[in-house]
Amino acid sequence: MKALGPVDQLFLFLERRQQPMHVAGLQLFSYPEDAGPKYVSELAAQMRDYCCPVAPFNQRLASRFGQPMWTEDKQFDIDAHFRHEALPKPGRIRELLALVSAEHSNLLDRERPLWEAHLIEGIRGRRFAMYTKIHHSLVDGISAMRLGMRALSPDPEVRDLAPVWATPPRKRRPGMPSNPVEAVSGLAQLTAGLSKQVATVPALAREVYKVSQKAKNDPDYVSIFQAPQCMLNERITGSRRFAAQSYSMARIKKIGNAFGCTLNDIVLAICGSALRDYLISQNALPNQPLIAMVPVSLRQDDSAEGNQIATILANLGTHIADPANRLRVIKASVEEAKCRYRQMSPAEILNFTALMLAPTGINLLTGMAPKLQAFNVIISNVPGPKEPLYWNGAKLEGMYPVSIALDRIALNITLTSYVDQLEFGLIGCRRTLPSMQRLLDYLENGIHELEVAAGIR
């Protein structure tokens, strides 16, 4: 048995019917050239034979002395986790996204290992998909990406690859540290954790003072109480809508080169533009700029379990009509946060993050202070593979992250890179955000207006 870390426990504690706490990935494949008409059915039969999962797919929740633990499931039932489904005709991407929206709305069964995999056929153009969801208490974004890559190969000729739940982890590279969660446990873990917390207090106090002083003088600076009230931050239901789209990475990098900005700066500017357009269409644009919570990974190992993340708060400049000026505000906001973190240790960063997110945490846990919010939307960028990948000869055409919408944080924009594409996955509450799928059109418009501002178009 292995104890859950504090962040992992938090993801379990936050789960409600209206707030499922699982993350997922949608992988779109094209058939191998030699695939017959029963290809997916035969593939499903082969996948069901893999009924002995590896960690973390064989772990279920247990309790020891009141402490939640992970323990191996000795009565694993593959039929409770693997589904073979077909889209209704005409089998468009619209129907695929509708299926994912419905499945992502459902809670995972806590009496079993917290994951499901759905093999989906009937997609136009000789394509099929895999939708795999797993509880956030088991993985963060980086580790979820690594799990998804386990079963894939850069070689289209490789066959007999196991599904992700039965693919053992790759051997750790020499010299890489082990997962710190696995390195210590019990009383030793508690003692080490307390000593680290105490050691961060002086640096944390200095940073809090700097933040409070700078917020008084800089109108573009992001403080933890700056996020305005917005329709993105209303109460949510358990019903989800998922939207996804691919965009050319070369196109976005070209904009970044023209403005001297990073890829992430441009992504935030595109999202800021889309959110501005969407809120204007709903007559709901606040006068103050929206604030995005942007997760950053502190993972320094090859592990694929647990959560090792911190966050920054970014000003999206949604109050600014001019795209170039909006980008300037975003870049300055992100750079300020990066400069702060460069002077801090990982433990100090985690504690500073906890302090920043305390108002939102209070809301999520108690609902007692709805007007105290540190951010309006979550925007996350997870690096992905740089070369084409295959699964038993089927080419991976696209991979779209499906993340979490939270109460009063009704929209989550997560993207990942794949070869020469940026794959956007948007998840939101269907009731809180009507016509949310229009954000895909607004993202395209955000790219276009930056190209115009940069003189590319």
Hey, which residues are catalytic here?
136
Cβ–Cβ < 8 Å for 292, 271: yes
Q: Phi and psi dihedrals of 245, rounded to 5? A: -160, 150
The amino acid at residue 382 is: V
Taken in order 349, 215, 379, 103, is the CA torsion positive or negative? positive
d(CA 88, CA 285): 37
Token pair 């982890």: residue: 169
Residues facing residue 297 across a β-bridge: 309
Closest CA to 253 of 21, 454, 1, 45: 454
Beta sheet of 240-248, edge-to-edge order: 240-248, 421-429, 411-418, 377-382, 291-297, 309-315
Cβ–Cβ < 8 Å for 42, 108: no
SS3 348: helix
Q: Phi and psi dihedrals of 18, rounded to 5? A: -85, 0
Q: What pairing do the DSSP bridges indicate for beta strands 411-418 and 394-402?
A: unpaired
DSSP secondary structure string for all residues of 170-220 = PPPPTTPPPPHHHH--HHHHHHHHHHHHHHTHHHHHHHHHHHHHHHHH-TT
Q: What pairing do the DSSP bridges indicate for beta strands 377-382 and 291-297?
A: parallel
